[in-house]
Structure 1
Amino acid sequence: MGKFFMLVIVLVFGSNLAIAQQDNIVHSIQKGESVYQISRQYGVSINAIFDLNPGSRDIIYAGETLLIPNSSNNTSSTSTQITSNGVSNYEVQRGETKSGLSRRFGVSIAMLEQQNPHIVNMLQAGHIINVDKSITEQARTARQGEHIVVKGETLWGIARQNGISVAQLEAANANQLSEFLQIGQTLIIPDKNSVITNPNEYLVVRGDTKFELARRFNMTIAELEAQNPHIIDMLMAGHKLNINKSESNAIATTTENNSVETPSVEVNNPTTNGDYIDYTIQAKETLYGLSRKAGMTMEELMVLNPSLRVAVNKGDIIKMPRNPSAVKESEVVTLDNTSNEIDINVNNRNASLFSNLNTTDVTGLYFYTPFSSQELSSPEERQKMVNADPNKQFYIDFFQGAQIAIDSAKSLNIDFDVALIKKNIAKSSITINSNHKKNALLIPFLDNASHFSEVISNEEVSVIDIESNIVSTNNTKVYKSFPTNELERTKALNYLALQNARVIVISELEESKNKALIQSIIPNAKFLKVDNSGNFGQNALDNTLSTIKPNFVILDSEKTSIFLNSTTALMSRLSNYDIQLVLLESALIPKQNQVSDMRFRVLKLIFPSILDPQNKKDIKDFERSYEDIFEVKPSKHAVLGFDITLDVLLRLAQDSSFESTINNVVSEHPHLRFEYKKSDESNYLNTGLHLLQYNSNEGLIEID
């Protein structure tokens, strides 16, 4: 009986499978085909094929078969017909664009919009499209507030022509811009004086953040989100915000995090009326702990005591309120177990460092800078130096990041002293007289390495090079903490050399600037020259691309125009060739306001990076805490200040020598990985790089 029952189940299941397969088309994969090509052939989406064939997301092989959903079995309420003469009752699907539909139906965007005026301003899922190809395309004239794209135009040119910024133009057309402009596309031209359409509204532009907008309109982020629920998940360019303050005051803020009040502490004149007393900092106290004791935010305490911007040192005397007021949790940036915590022991990546901390011995941390302690502590002096040399802001940002790292290390009970050494180009050496057995000297952004010759110290000092290009002298160990551009290029090329593929290098120069390095790693690489606009000679690209192998195309140029035109040419050939784009340095990636990342995804861009895409939460936690303290987003230099300073302090706090931790421990903080390799007897180089690839389905993934 049991066997009979099982047989019935198998027969029923088999018959259902047979019926399901009859509803689908079986496609035999031909050599050179991609899922994208096959989806276009049958008029179905890529995701529909992926759903039926899960393994096809990764790779497909010639000779195997794919199940293709039969479009005639579409359960849509409309009866869609797509013929050579036109389109009838086509329902727009989520994710489709005018550009994609125009190619699929074989008509221009102008013709698509002419016969379907309801999609001119925005194409939405659910729109019904009808196209009759027998109708002659009419010459169109732009109405007031519109612009029709013609050949050769760019967003920058259109914005300039209409006296507006590119950000305004992008915001007004956020829902219809794709990877590149289309001839005949209708753009909305906003009034250059009406980005804010009325006093109680604001149109979000690219680059805006909730934090900045809340501060600009004197609201909390919670109030901004409460009045604009559509931005809770994500703030996007083109969003219209209600910024009516009277409405935000009427919203109940019953939870602790819904309101942030500023303590009524006089910090501009701390000695008035005897409101403040002198306080001696005790061993292992932190900036956070002192702010809690004072009943103030950390920023307010630093305004009251500028020396705290440099370090919290045992024995220093600072001013504290005589009668501290209670401070709310939401008013401080915390480094312990609260919602604002900077979790510096994330996912046990640094378990070997944290498990062996020596909290008894004291170490020394020195910074070699253009500022003295007094100058760094004085806002007036700092601003005066930045006005004279804007590059000095790099150091200020660096120290603000380092300050958070110092406080984080003190919260772990690590004991160390901090000191600044002001640069003096008249001196040929740096002398350090330390009371500690282990010390580290951090040297950020040295503008002329020849001004740094040697370190003379009575104790061991490890020199940490931060984009300073220092050469070791007098047997001093130098640790280059930031991966070099050459290391980025080498990592990408080594990966390509292992692939069974053709490597093509595109450059506008007669000789690619990286030709010697490329040929030393990939001797068979092909070199292709484009003109100054990024255009190829007739048939030059097609004659170089391989039809039987994958093609890795290295774009060896810093010009955005070269990137745009070259990638446009590559994308137009994806139906005939297997192409992937490669950049040898992360610095060569165009900025987002210049090039849409749609191109990166379509061409599956490969590039080296110091950042780990898996660390998004850690990075956001640091950015949130930094913004709360300093009221600005952290720059690259602030990031270096935090990650490098924290890593150095953790390595100094081990029972083994600093060099031993460098040889044996790979660490990883929110932004940087520290994986040092010895380059010669006195120099170490951080090789902590990731090789990333844009993937249309998963975003950025690590491939090496």
Structure 2
Amino acid sequence: MKNRILFSIVLTVFSFVFTVAAKQEKYTKHTVSKGETINIIAQKYKVTPYDIYSLNPDSQNGIQLNSVLLIPATNSVVVLNSSQNDSQSKNPNTHLVQPKETLYSISKQYGVTIDAIKAANGDLLNNGLKIGQNIKIPSGNGQAVAAPKPAEPAKVAAPVVTKPVVKPTAKIETPKVETPKGETTYHIIEPKETKYGISKKYGMTIPELERLNPQIVSEFPIGFKLVVSGNAVNQTAVETTKPAADVVKPTVETAAPTASSTKKYLEEYVVKPKETIASIANDYGMSEQELISLNPELKRGIKLGMILRVPKGQRKEPVKKEQGNLLKTINTNARKQLALLLPFNISKIESDTVNSTQARLKKDKFLNLTLDFYSGALMAIDSAKVLGMNVDIKILDSQETKNSSNVAALVQQNNLQTMDAIVGPFYQSNVEKLAELIEPTKTPVISPLSKEVGKKYANLYQSMPSAEFLRSAIFDFIKAKNGNIIAVVDTKKGSVKQYIQEMQPNVRIAGLSEKGAFVADSLKVLFQKDKLNYVVLASESTGMILATTNAMLAAQKEYQVQLVILEQNDTFDFEEISLTRLTKLKLLYPSLSRPNETNEANQFDAKYKKLNKILPNQYAIRGFDVTFDTLLRLSQDKTFEETVQSSPSEQIENKFDYAQNTTYGYSNNGIYILYYDTDLTIKEAL
């Protein structure tokens, strides 16, 4: 983000334009007529369906009458092999990839292995299988073979749960995995399921799921039998068997619940004002994806008054929170104890015979961060004294790196389990270790700086909102505005594209050129005149940012447009991207902190500068905010946990609005949605 100081000075705008040299490609616009399909349109313009899908990703979900498609010029299409054009009619050795097909299904259709198909197609499949691609189909000896006619599907009766049915033995490559001890649980991949959804269902991470099932690293075929661990919330399509010894035991086929049997476990819920998919899912202890799977209509967005299907009796009663009442209810009678575990790493400094302390301070960024946080914490402690809070403070050196710490020894030597609360350590693995050691006493452990999401403990409080929550919050905000949402996603941001496709299916993604460059027309054809067009830009490329914002500025004559980013992006600080450009597009983004120009904030700045001869940076302010929020919560008639359940707080720049996780512990959901205004200030969006 732009430095706060930039907004307090008058900016002189120079007429300097940063030009990115790129070959301009011409595109034809085609309006879809009645009865036309992608294949028909591709044949008309002598391009492949893949070329059309590349520029119009939204068309993979179907095309509508009168919708506009971008068609690449014939001379800009790269021919992957000499027989590519009209390959389905002239070359039976290739296969035109259809929607919902996978390498797994194609390999079964032609009786070849996935590896053989990949080897036959060279670099074509490096980025995965794409709809509309023409791929070579090899034979067993490496030569291409004609595609067999698909067999007519046999009529299979619905499974009946009576007695075990022995499956016939078939030559199927089973995953070579480490067999879990005790019972092994399997899951059959259903249509529209994802790795993310299945891993959440069984309390696993995606890497754990891939370790048990190496075959799904590059493919995720429907019908594949996964080895999973843990107990699923909903055991649909799950088989549980004892590990086999030397003989193959019969497998029990279990019928999936029918609609009538599922109804017993569901109830209806009417959407209330200001509710979002995320908030309702959280209230029912489920993921957004699970809620959408019960209510597919949510893919088009959530609306006031919608009737949703939700798990019966699972709703957590929301606790009414009152903003800003902690200062009014301070109890100075009960004495409390707070420990701060900060990574000063004093022993390393003392044993450093090469560098003086002053020299170390100049180059040790982590030490400087620690001292900044500490200076803010000291101001919070001083403020607590002024207000008469009755708290004993213990400051300890956690002696930590990312992979080690002094936590275990500190717990033993200082009886940390008797504390009323502990702030720190800094690294996620170390704060989790501390929470684990003192979990029996339920002593709150506040993680001050880590955004990571790891192991959950009942006494662990993540004070930094996660990146996943920030993404979800900004999408919830713009969806509530009923705007038209379009995403421009750099090819290097594969995880962002996957997140949008899986979790924000109503968002349309603009197509890129064959080389991954931004195409202005692919954005403009998605604009709507009767709505505010939000353009979500995910890229760290200066060229792509300039090209996208240039197209948006040019479109302002005809359309309402606003630029959106999902997280802090340092590229926007480069001088090539002027502040004026961002204010004209009212850059909108989620933030952990806010600019604060109130009298209280100015007084804090002045006092800090008087003590430290410098204005506070973000870590100093964070140190104050986390420590003072903790001190306030300890100085109440309620327990620390009761205060986070009932009372959010807002300090100098940070908000603390904790929500209980669906498993254990709490996460801070206190964030701000900010935008750059035309008067060169940052404001909170309403």
Greater C-alpha Rg: 1
Higher relative contact order (CA 8 A, sep 6+): 2
What is the TM-score with the length of structure 1 in the denominator? 0.46
